[in-house]
Every structure is written in C-alpha cells, then in structure tokens.
C-alpha cells in the first residue's frame, strides 16, 4: 500500500525549529479503501528538545515518525527539518525501531558499523565513534559478542549505538523499549536520558508507557484514536537531570502521569 499524495505544499518556517509539522494529513490507499492515519497534526520540536508521543494503537504514531524521517509522504501539510521541507529519506536522522533488528552473524561492533558502511563514512572515524558509544552505553567488553549472546537490553543498546553513530541531529525512536522487562526498561530510560543530556540530540520517542513518556520528556504529546490528532501537549516541569526514584516520587511526576492516563482513558488506552 502507498500513501496518497495530494497538494504537497512547502511553507518556509521563520523560526527554524528542528522539526516543524503543520496541518499534516496522511492517508493510505488500499484495496479495502482509504485509511486516514493522522489528520490536522501541528507540532514543533525545538533544537535539543526531548518529546515523547503517547496514544492508542493505530493512531498514527509510527506514521508520524516515518513522515518526519521522509520514509512516508504526507498527503497534505508541511513537514520540515531545520527549516527545509522533507522530500525523501534523510541522512541526518537516527531511527530506532521497536525491535533491535540486529544482524545475527555480525558482532556488536559490526552491527554498529553497518551505519557507517551504508553512509560511506570514513572507517577509522566510524570505529572511533563506535568505541565511544560502546563505552557510553556500557557495552565495553562485548565488542566481539554476537547478538544471541546479549540480553534484550544490551541488544537495544547496540541498536541505539547504531542510530547514534553518524551523530544525527534528530533521533526518532519508535517504542524502542517495548519488548524489554520492566527493570531493564527503567535502566534504558535512565541511560537514554543521560546520553541525551551529553549529546544535545533532538529526540522524538513513541511509547505506550505513561511513566516512560513523562520521565523522558520535556514535553509529552498525547494523540487521539485514529485518525490521530494531537489531543494535548504537556510541558514536563521537572529538572533536566532526573534521578529515577526521586522523579517517580515527585508530585509533579504524579500529577502529569495521572493527567496523561486520564487523557488516554478517554481514548480507551491506558497502561
Ligand atoms: N503502509 C501502510 N499502508 C496502509 N495502511 C497503513 C500503512 N501504515 C500504517 N497504516 C495504517 O495507518 C494507521 C496508523 O498506523 P501506525 O502504524 O502509524 O499506528 P501506531 O500509532 O504506530 O500504532 P501502534 O501503537 O500499534 O504501533 C493504521 O490504521 C494502519 O493500519
Ligand atoms: Mg507504531
């Protein structure tokens, strides 16, 4: 099935946020007819911001990330990265999929370096950066390990290193921790937040977990059921450096998660 393109438009942004989405509609055509995945989406993400997206299954969260990355064409509306329209797959983006999607026959380093091979990055520089990322994500000593020798959390960290190898300005993450157990997921949340703090990358992350959405974000976007619209955008007024336990226990966190849950409950979805 392919996206139906209608009236592609391009409007120059005056403020040049990292991500600018305006009046986005995405419809898919199929033999069963048309499906409107998202409609009237307006969203702006500032440079270095961490935005999480929550919403019921099928409301178009993955579609939104794919449109921003240039993998799916909008049917209507504006999608810009750094003030320029997105017209096709972008090199300056890192994408982390729900499953780690590692090559079983390649070791940790080899899986991370695929990114460099696909982009024709100089090998020495790529290896140096891979070593830094391996260290940063606590994978040191496992450079030569194969995916089946790693835990699920470690595999996801390899996937994260691969997405960060080319130092993308924007990191799009589609339920990256959905397959992990609760404890590993918490650890990954803390690690991701730390990596984000030290790299300054702009992150958009889709999640079904309300605590994850609030803990990680500067702002949480809550979407309606399909056709997905933005129901509400919440500012997360928590310190930039977040200690996991303290954050969970804070009144601001409690209020925000309660509010996000109540919004999702109206959509029939809450964890
Ligand atoms: N390539 C495609 N062709 C046809 N329909 C599609 C395509 N991609 C997505 N859709 C439809 O668009 C809607 C939104 O899908 P999408 O994957 O964006 O939802 P989602 O919010 O990510 O859901 P989930 O939380 O289950 O991952 C769904 O109805 C889906 O069937
Ligand atoms: Mg999805």
Atom number in ligand 1 closest to CA 223: 21
Whether residue 271 has pLDDT greater than 70: no
Q: Assign 11 a pLDDT band (cuts: 50, 70, 90).
A: very low
pLDDT at 8: 39
Mutate to test the pocket of ligand 1, among 58, 67, 213, 267 (most ligand atoms within 8 A of CB): 58
SS3 135: helix
Tell me the CATH number for domain 1-92+168-271.
Answer: 3.40.50.300
This prediction has a pTM of: 0.88
Tell me: pLDDT of 241 over 70: yes
Q: Is the CB of 97 under 6 A from ligand 1?
A: no
* Domain regions of the chain by residue span: 1-92+168-271, 102-167
Q: Buried b vs exposed e over 97-109: b needs ≥16 C-beta within 10 Å?
A: ebebebeeeebbb
Question: CA–CA distance from 159 to each of 15, 115, 123, 152, 199 (Å)?
Answer: 32, 10, 19, 11, 17
Angle at 204 between CA 120 and CA 123, to 5 degrees: 15
Once rounded to an integer, what is the mean pLDDT over residues 31-56?
95
Residue 198 Cβ < 6 Å to ligand 1 = no
pLDDT, the chain, mean = 89
More confident residue, 185 or 75: 75
Task: Please tell me the predicted confidence (pLDDT) of residue 269.
Answer: 64
22-35 in b/e form (b: 16+ CB < 10 A) is bebbbbbeeeeeeb
Q: Near ion ligand 2, which residues have CB within 5 Å?
A: 62
Strands 50-54 and 219-223: parallel
* 57 CB near ligand 1 (under 6 Å): yes
- Compute the distance from residue 81 Cα to the ligand 1 centre, in Å: 22
Among all chains, which residue has been given the structure tokens 């911001």? 49
């Amino acid at each position: 099935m392919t996206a139906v393109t209608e009236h592609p438009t391009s409007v120059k942004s005056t403020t040049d946020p990292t991500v600018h989405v305006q009046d986005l509609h995405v419809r898919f055509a199929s033999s069963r007819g048309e499906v409107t995945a998202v409609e009237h989406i307006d969203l702006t993400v500032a440079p270095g911001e961490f935005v999480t997206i929550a919403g019921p299954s099928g409301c178009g969260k993955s579609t939104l990330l794919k449109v921003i990355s240039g993998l799916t064409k909008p049917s209507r509306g504006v999608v810009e990265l750094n003030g320029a329209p997105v017209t096709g797959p972008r090199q300056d983006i890192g994408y982390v999929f729900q499953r780690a999607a590692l090559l079983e026959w390649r070791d940790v380093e080899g899986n991370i370096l695929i990114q460099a091979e696909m982009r024709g990055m100089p090998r020495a520089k790529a290896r140096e950066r891979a070593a830094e990322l391996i260290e940063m994500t606590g994978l040191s000593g496992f450079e030569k390990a194969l995916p089946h020798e790693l835990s699920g959390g470690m595999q996801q960290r390899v996937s994260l290193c691969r997405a960060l190898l080319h130092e993308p300005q924007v990191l799009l993450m589609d339920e990256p921790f959905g397959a992990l157990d609760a404890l590993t997921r918490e650890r990954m949340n803390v690690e991701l937040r730390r990596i984000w703090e030290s790299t300054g990358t702009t992150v958009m992350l889709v999640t079904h977990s309300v605590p994850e959405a609030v803990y990680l974000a500067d702002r949480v976007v809550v979407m309606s059921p399909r056709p997905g619209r933005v129901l509400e955008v919440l500012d997360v007024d928590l310190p930039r450096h977040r200690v996991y336990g303290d954050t969970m226990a804070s009144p601001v966190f409690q209020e925000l998660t309660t509010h996000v849950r109540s919004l999702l409950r109206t959509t029939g979805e809450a964890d």
